[in-house]
């Protein structure tokens, strides 16, 4: 391969990796934070697999904010945040017997023998939860969140009857982990009652469970048919930890926790494969949704030896069931306009029931995807659903074509404002370039008020549309003047005095949102919640971000050229700067109150820590660096200033040596801190 060809391949890989990270971050936010996924599990897994392949081929492209390097799903601040003492990791996925055999072989190689037992557990499709008990009493309950910080849902979890409030003969303090879910029968009954009452129906048991434990009123949670299985010990104080995971499960049962009775212990990988295959057919016999089987190494000592790589433990894998599919007629292909101007084709289907939900719409992603799959209006199509709000069209059943099917063509003008559309070079999506497009402005307003953005309760899709139609708002910043239009609000459908007061109060409360949420709420293309947090933490204020050049932004670990150019272009436009100035005038927070871009003795330096340190934990070391103005990365790149090496450093040391990054052992690191006047806690 010539040098020019290698360079082109590298640049293509870099661009694709940036696109994948942006897409994955968006879909992770939809799934973990909004409880409203837009693509199937299988399609999300494909995005992750493609990104892993690119990063494996080009390790220098790995960034600290890559979804392959950390647990996904930023917590929502509404309920308060709980720091997880031990991170809640995600699991690597396997999709067939070969994947399970490959995992077993890798594990055996690391342990240097293949004689180890494994525990197989049904993978409950619900919401992960971590429960802390002190002196036998439930003290806190938290969601997974981003793996290190989760939402405090203690009061709502207390309403779930299968989760005990008090335990007898319990250790001094410990954490147990499990899954909150809604039964299928309970979900059907709940939806029937909502339909009778004229309320919108819920999409799936998983989303219903996640939404139920995030209710502001615990009484609402208590009214929902929620249950929980507990399956793991997080940590323990004042008690002896069992030697195996199987013993942990027995111990949890003895304390009074609900443990799934379908769990099995297997002596070899063939037994594991048989167990998984059996549940592919039997899954529908359960009164709760499962989307796979989790396989864990039984010995806790082996688990500690195996450790984790990136966001995943080496000692466990999730076997994912084949996605549920059905065939139906694709009636027509329509296009809507997103908040960034993207034209998004979707399929309108003859209603079909898949995995317990009636499906009428399905995503088609983009024109290239439609052409690649040769999907036509009028086709009989295979539709795939794996707990998704919007399923996907897998492809057509060509044998059932009649000749009357119509090939799809992307419209040449925006369906909302009729502006000629454009397709940027190297991108799959078409865009409406008219920033005054009513569809864009509406979707941007809907995004602005949503969870993870300004989180304004009471303004959903319907009210946002009414506010724009009435001319009361043109953008998110106009919301902060609605207190002057209270009489106009009272004239709106379904808005009484109390509702108006609640909306205005929520708007006022949103002024205090962290800078990261404000940046995310602006709707900058390619900027999801994670990227917004990186920008807020680096710059510390909106003014500093607005004054940054694209080259400056590109230098930030975790921010690529595509994102840097998008941010810079967005903030250079007068309309967008006017929105920011209106937010400033309204008193919206435009500074990072904690952990922002601090000046300090380590400013301008980026550290990566690997291995085990003696003086303090890795987390404590990273907090110390950030507190003194330094940056912290999770992988070694050309932007890394120092790699700090403790015992058993792993592959990061080899990467640093390859790139010529300066390496410090623990004593040299402490000496550097001392020389700059920094004293570790």
Give the C-alpha separation, 48 to 679, whole Å. Answer: 41
Residues 150-173: pLDDT tens digits?
Answer: 889 988 898 888 888 888 888 999
**Residue 237: exposure state from Cβ atoms within 10 A (0-12, 13-18, ≥19):** exposed
What is the three-state SS of 235-301? EEECCCCCCEHHHHHHHHHHHCCCCCCCCEEECCHHHHHHHHHHHHHHHHHCCCCEEEEEEEECEHH
Give the C-alpha separation, 89 to 382, whole Å. Answer: 34
Query: Do residues 604 and 625 make contact, with C-beta atoms less than 8 angstroms apart?
Result: no
Among 14, 105, 123, 511, the one annotated catalytic = 123
Q: Check residue 418 and give its pLDDT.
A: 95
What is the H or E stretch that residue 181 is in?
A: strand 173-182
Give the C-alpha separation, 282 to 515, whole Å. Answer: 48
Residues 255-314: pLDDT tens digits?
Answer: 889 899 899 999 999 999 999 999 887 887 888 989 899 999 999 999 999 998 877 899
Q: Going along 390-459, which residue ranges are E strands? A: 392-396, 406-407
Give the C-alpha separation, 52 to 29, whole Å. Answer: 19
What is the H or E stretch that residue 461 is in?
A: helix 461-469
Query: Do residues 440 and 339 make contact, with C-beta atoms less than 8 angstroms apart?
Result: yes
Radius of gyration of the chain (CA): 26
Q: Per-residue pLDDT for 190 more than 50?
A: yes
Q: How many CB atoms lie within 10 A of CB 137?
A: 12
Bridge partners of 314? none
Q: Per-residue pLDDT for 133 more than 60?
A: yes
Q: Check residue 30 and give its pLDDT.
A: 66
What is the H or E stretch that residue 206 is in?
A: helix 205-212
> Lowest mean pLDDT: which of 193-202, 347-356, 399-408?
193-202
Residues 416-470: pLDDT tens digits?
Answer: 999 999 998 888 899 999 988 999 999 999 999 988 899 898 888 889 889 999 9
The residue ranking higher by pLDDT, 91 or 604, is 91
Bridge partners of 422? 431
3-class DSSP assignment, residue 222: helix
Q: Are strands 406-407 and 376-377 parallel, antiparallel or unpaired?
A: antiparallel
Bridge partners of 352? 359
What's the token pair of residue 77? 């601040």
Q: Assign 317 a pLDDT band (cuts: 50, 70, 90).
A: very high
Which residues, 6 or more positions from 451, have their beta carbon under 8 angstroms from its beta carbon?
33, 34, 76, 78
The residue ranking higher by pLDDT, 556 or 139, is 139
Q: Are strands 264-266 and 93-94 parallel, antiparallel or unpaired?
A: unpaired
Angle, to 10 degrees, between the axis of helix 561-572 and the axis of helix 574-586?
Answer: 70
Closest listed residue to residue 342, CA positions, set 361, 363, 360 = 363
- pTM for this entry: 0.47
Q: Per-residue pLDDT for 33 more than 50?
A: no
Backbone conformation region of residue 76, classed left if phi is above 0, alpha if psi is from -120 to 50, else beta: beta
Query: Mean pLDDT for the chain?
Result: 85
C-alpha to C-alpha distances, 425 to 82, 430, 550, nearest whole angstrom: 44, 10, 19
Query: Do residues 539 and 512 make contact, with C-beta atoms less than 8 angstroms apart?
Result: no
Give the C-alpha separation, 79 to 292, whole Å. Answer: 30
498 annotated active-site: no
Residues 247-263: pLDDT tens digits?
Answer: 999 999 888 898 998 99
The residue ranking higher by pLDDT, 198 or 228, is 228
Query: Do residues 627 and 680 make contact, with C-beta atoms less than 8 angstroms apart?
Result: no
Query: Do residues 339 and 444 make contact, with C-beta atoms less than 8 angstroms apart?
Result: yes
Query: Do residues 49 and 224 make contact, with C-beta atoms less than 8 angstroms apart?
Result: no
The residue ranking higher by pLDDT, 329 or 63, is 329
Query: Do residues 536 and 546 make contact, with C-beta atoms less than 8 angstroms apart?
Result: no
Q: Are strands 357-363 and 631-632 parallel, antiparallel or unpaired?
A: unpaired
Give the C-alpha separation, 329 to 397, whole Å. Answer: 10
Backbone conformation region of residue 486, classed left if phi is above 0, alpha if psi is from -120 to 50, else beta: alpha
Give the C-alpha separation, 296 to 119, whole Å. Answer: 5
Which residues, 6 or more positions from 185, have their beta carbon under 8 angstroms from its beta carbon?
225, 287
Q: Are strands 642-645 and 662-665 parallel, antiparallel or unpaired?
A: parallel
């Amino acid at each position: 391969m010539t040098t020019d060809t290698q360079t082109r391949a590298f640049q293509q890989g870099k661009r694709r990796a940036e696109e994948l990270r942006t897409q994955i971050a968006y879909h992770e936010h939809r799934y973990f934070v909004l409880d409203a996924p837009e693509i199937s599990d299988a399609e999300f897994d494909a995005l992750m697999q493609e990104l892993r392949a690119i990063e494996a081929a080009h390790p220098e492209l790995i960034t600290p904010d890559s979804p392959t390097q950390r647990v996904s799903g930023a917590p929502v601040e509404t309920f308060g945040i709980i720091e997880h003492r031990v991170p809640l990791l995600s699991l690597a996925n396997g999709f067939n017997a070969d994947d399970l055999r490959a995992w077993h072989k890798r594990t055996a190689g690391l342990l240097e023998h293949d004689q180890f037992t494994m525990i197989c557990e049904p993978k409950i499709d619900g919401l992960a939860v971590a429960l802390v008990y002190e002196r036998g009493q439930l003290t806190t309950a938290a969601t997974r969140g981003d793996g290190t910080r989760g939402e405090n849902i203690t009061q709502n979890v207390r309403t779930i009857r299968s989760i005990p409030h008090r335990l007898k003969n319990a250790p001094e303090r410990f954490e147990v982990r499990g899954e909150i879910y809604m039964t299928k029968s309970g979900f059907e009954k709940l939806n029937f009652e909502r339909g009778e009452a004229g309320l919108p129906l819920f999409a799936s048991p998983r989303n219903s469970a996640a939404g139920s434990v995030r209710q502001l009123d615990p009484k609402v949670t208590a009214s929902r048919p929620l249950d929980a299985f507990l399956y793991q010990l997080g940590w323990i104080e004042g008690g002896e930890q069992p030697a195996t995971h199987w013993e942990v499960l027995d111990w949890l049962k003895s304390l009074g926790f609900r443990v799934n009775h379908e769990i099995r212990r297997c002596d070899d990988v063939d037994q594991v494969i048989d167990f998984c295959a059996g549940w592919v057919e039997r899954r529908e016999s359960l009164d709760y949704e499962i989307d796979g089987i989790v396989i864990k190494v039984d010995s806790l000592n082996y688990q500690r030896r195996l450790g984790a790589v990136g966001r995943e433990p080496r000692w466990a894998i999730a076997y994912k069931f084949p996605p549920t599919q059905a065939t139906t007629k694709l009636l027509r292909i329509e296009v809507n306009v997103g908040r960034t101007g993207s034209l998004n084709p979707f399929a309108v289907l003859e209603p079909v029931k898949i995995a317990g939900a009636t499906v009428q719409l399905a995503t088609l992603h983009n024109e290239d995807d439609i052409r690649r799959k040769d999907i036509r209006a009028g086709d009989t199509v295979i539709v795939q659903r794996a707990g998704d709000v919007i399923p996907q069209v897998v492809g057509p059943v060509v044998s059932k074509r009649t000749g009357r099917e119509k090939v799809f063509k992307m419209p040449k003008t925006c369906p909302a404002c009729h502006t000629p559309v454009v397709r940027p070079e190297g991108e799959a999506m078409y865009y409406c370039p008219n920033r005054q497009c009513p569809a864009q402005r509406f979707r941007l307003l809907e995004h602005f008020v949503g969870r993870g953005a300004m989180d304004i309760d009471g303004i959903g899709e319907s009210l946002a549309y009414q506010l724009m139609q009435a001319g009361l708002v043109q953008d998110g910043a106009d919301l902060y003047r609605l207190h002057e239009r209270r009489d106009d609000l009272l004239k709106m459908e379904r808005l009484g005095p109390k509702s108006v007061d609640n909306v205005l109060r929520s708007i006022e409360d949103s002024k205090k949102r962290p800078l990261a949420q404000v940046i995310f709420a602006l709707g900058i293309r390619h900027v999801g919640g994670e990227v917004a947090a990186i920008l807020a933490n680096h710059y510390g204020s909106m003014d500093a971000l607005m004054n940054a050049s694209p080259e400056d932004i590109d230098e930030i670990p975790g921010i690529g050229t595509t994102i840097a150019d998008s941010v810079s272009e967005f903030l250079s436009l007068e309309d967008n700067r006017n929105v920011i100035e209106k937010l400033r005038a309204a008193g919206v927070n435009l500074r990072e109150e904690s952990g922002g871009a601090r000046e300090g003795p380590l400013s301008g330096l980026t550290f990566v820590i690997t291995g085990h340190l003696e003086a303090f934990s890795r987390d404590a070391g990273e907090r110390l660096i950030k507190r003194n103005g330094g940056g912290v990365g999770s992988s070694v790149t050309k932007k890394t200033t120092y790699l700090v090496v403790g015992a058993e450093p792993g592959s990061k040391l080899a990467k640093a040596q390859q790139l010529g990054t300066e390496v410090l052992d623990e004593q040299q690191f402490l000496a550097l801190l001392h020389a700059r006047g920094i004293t570790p806690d």
